[in-house]
Structure 1
Amino acid sequence: MRIVSLLPAATDFVAALGLLPSLTGRTHECDWPPGALDDVPVVTSSAIDHDVLSSREISAAVGGEHRGSGLYSLDSALLAAAEPDVVLTQDLCDVCAISYRQVSETVRAMEGDTRVVSLEPRTLEGIFTCLTTLGEVLGVPEQIEAAGGTPLLADAGEHTRPITWDAVVGARPDILLLIPCGFPPERTEAELPLLTGLPGWDEIPAAHILDGPAYFNRPGPRVVDGAELLADVLHG
């Protein structure tokens, strides 16, 4: 999945879903996470030099000759070179980012089957709805997959079930995540010898104890933080 984000907030969503490695294009205003976007091509530019003009001059330019729609330019050649499967944009405000109409017209002129997705949250609830919607569009946000990993013993959405130790060893995982339900990391670490003494423990390349109740076992908003933690474990 190749993603181009034409909205800084959309780039934040992509980061929250652990999909920054799939980002092939961004706006000149995308700045989060710091330093993580330096190698992602910039496909937009602004007609206003914010570093030179005063705030009064910027306000006059926005409300004057530009009237929003002419504030930003989209480089169609760079966008095509990014070969996006999905382009993320918005249809709320022409002052905030490239207009939805401009993006749609540019994408229609490109070869390929690129989907344009408009994100338009107006409330806190709408922001979380956007995150869920975007997760569906991009094929996540199940935590392990969102973090760039492949779950070996469970499918997204299914109830957890008891798994034998032989099945764990037989799956030959690169990383074993220890996140038992209801156990904080300290309790998990205290009972770790129950696993380390089992046959096949030495065959597992790496094992990590994470805070299951805080970030993984409860279906609340902190699962997004859990996905970021997993991305750090998997990729550093």
Structure 2
Amino acid sequence: MGRPHGPPGRRAGGRRGAARRGAHLRRGCARLPRFGARARAARRLASALQLRGALASVRIACLLPAATEIVCALGLRESLVGRSHGCDFPADVASLPALTRARVDPSLPSSRLDDEVRRVYSTGEPLYLLDEERLAALAPDVVVTQAACEVCAVSYEQVTAVTRRAVPAANVVCLQPSRLGDVLDDVRKVADACGVGARGDALTAALRRRLEASRRVRPAVPGVAVIEWLDPPMLAGHWVPDAVEAAGGRALGPAAGQPSPYATWDEVRALRPDALVVAPCGFDLARTRREAEPLAPTLRALAPRVLLMDGNAFLNRPGPRLVEAVETMASWLDGRSVDGHRACALPHRL
């Protein structure tokens, strides 16, 4: 959901699930010839069939959208048994049971939503609720959560406490990305936890190749400021400065890996950006356009070029489609049109 970042989550303590998975690989194996090419081929086939059965038996619950996208990109869509309320890609995950819900209405205008998040946060109550009974009924082997931001998704502490009661044997995998490299490392972490390490290596390598292909050598490197929230304004931190650099820009504002700070429009103007990217966290492109409309004169006055982007699906979600955000920004900085479902240049009139 769209909101400002809260205090950074604490780093996970390294608990690992105690359940052992592998005994079933040894069950029902037919005796095979020990020698010869036919025997080797038969054993390879048996091994592949056993692995296929093992993957089908792994039950995965993802409690943040980025994790769901990683799991699906690894080819494990059929292993997903539960998701968070915010998981929306691929589209068919909507048919899965939702395990979380927000305590605030994400459809509120930016300023009211910011106030409501602050109010709930000040009470010490969690911003998200996790359905313990449903989690127990689904009985996942792997639960993927996060500790990067308590305002972005259900907190790590909540997940570990509920999982300990509901499915004590489950392996809780905690993602805590703060840099672009961490996002790629998380792909491997999820792959390893789900028993598909080789797929994780392959997917990470493919994403790295796309990032390298997006890098540009420009005579003058444009300074780029990214707005993560409009009212009140926030400058994007965490992995976003790395994404800007990967697209061939010079990131303005917070250093890579640092939290996203509040800022005034005068402070944004003082950065003297050559280009401005507006990608409110939790907003798709249509909502970004609506929220930006009353601020269009202000935004145009901040930089010669302004790009509106679907921050919810691409730039602010630390999953595989973050690479698409880099590719989109690189093309836009090259002067090419990127108008479409991901982004659009701020027109003369919204």
Cα deviation digits, residues 58-88 of structure 1 (max 9, x gap): 1001112334852110010111111110111
The offset of 1:135, in angstroms, is 1.0
State the distance in 2 between where 1:14 and 1:69 align.
Answer: 30
Match of 1:2 among 59, 63, 83: 59
The residue identity in structure 2 corresponding to 1:220 is A
Once superposed, what is the RMSD of the aligned Cα atoms?
Answer: 2.7
Query: What residue identity is the alignment partner of 1:19?
Result: L
Structure 2 equivalent of residue 25 of structure 1: 82
Q: After TM superposition, list the pairs within 5 Å mapping 1:116-195 onto structure 2.
A: 116-143=172-199
> Residue 69 and residue 86 in structure 1: after superposition, are their counterparts in 2 closer, same or farther (change >3 A)?
farther
Distance 2:209 2:59 in 1: 21
* Letter paired with 1:20: R
Distance 1:28 1:135 in 2: 23
Aligned twin of 1:62: 117
Given that 1:17 and 1:224 are in contact with CA atoms closer than 8 Å, whether structure 2 keeps it comes out as no
Gap change, CA 1:219 and 1:19, over 3 Å in 2: closer
Corresponding residue number in structure 2 for 1:221? 206
| 1:142–1:64 Cα change, 3 Å | same
> TM-score, normalized by length of structure 2?
0.40
TM-score normalised by structure 1 residue count: 0.59
SS at match of 2:120: coil
1:219–1:49 CA distance, 2 compared to 1 (3 A) = closer
After TM superposition, which residue ranges in structure 1, 4 or more long, deviate above 4 angstroms? 222-225
Contact 1:69/1:95 (8 A) holds in 2: no
Partner in structure 2 of residue 207 of structure 1: none
CA deviation map 1:166-210 (0-9, x unaligned): xxxxxxxxxxxxxxxxxxxxxxxxxxxxxxxxxxxxxxxxxxxxx
Corresponding position of 1:101: 157
Question: Is contact 1:90-1:97 (8 Å) kept?
Answer: yes
Q: Distance in 2 between matches of 1:108 and 1:224?
A: 39
Per chain length, whose mean CA-contact separation is higher, i.e. which structure has more relative contact order (CA < 8 Å, sep 6+)? Answer: 1
CA distance in 1, matches of 2:78, 2:115: 38
Partner in structure 1 of residue 139 of structure 2: 83
User: Using a 3 Å threshold, how does the CA distance of structure 1 residues 224 and 31 change in structure 2: closer, same or farther?
Assistant: farther
2:188 and 2:204 in contact (8 A); partners too? no
Shift of 1:38: 2.2
Number of residue-to-residue matches in the alignment: 153
1:81 match: secondary structure? helix
Secondary structure at the aligned position of 1:128 is classed as helix
> What's the % identity of the aligned pairs?
38
Return 5+ residue gaps in structure 1 as ranges: 147-156, 158-215, 226-236
More helix by share: 2
Residues 43, 55 of structure 1: alpha-carbon distance in 2 compared, 3 angstrom cutoff: same
Contact 1:26 1:43 in 2 (8 A): yes
Please give the alpha-carbon distance, in whole angstroms, between the structure 2 residues aligned to 1:136 and 1:23. Answer: 16
What amino acid is the match of 1:121? P
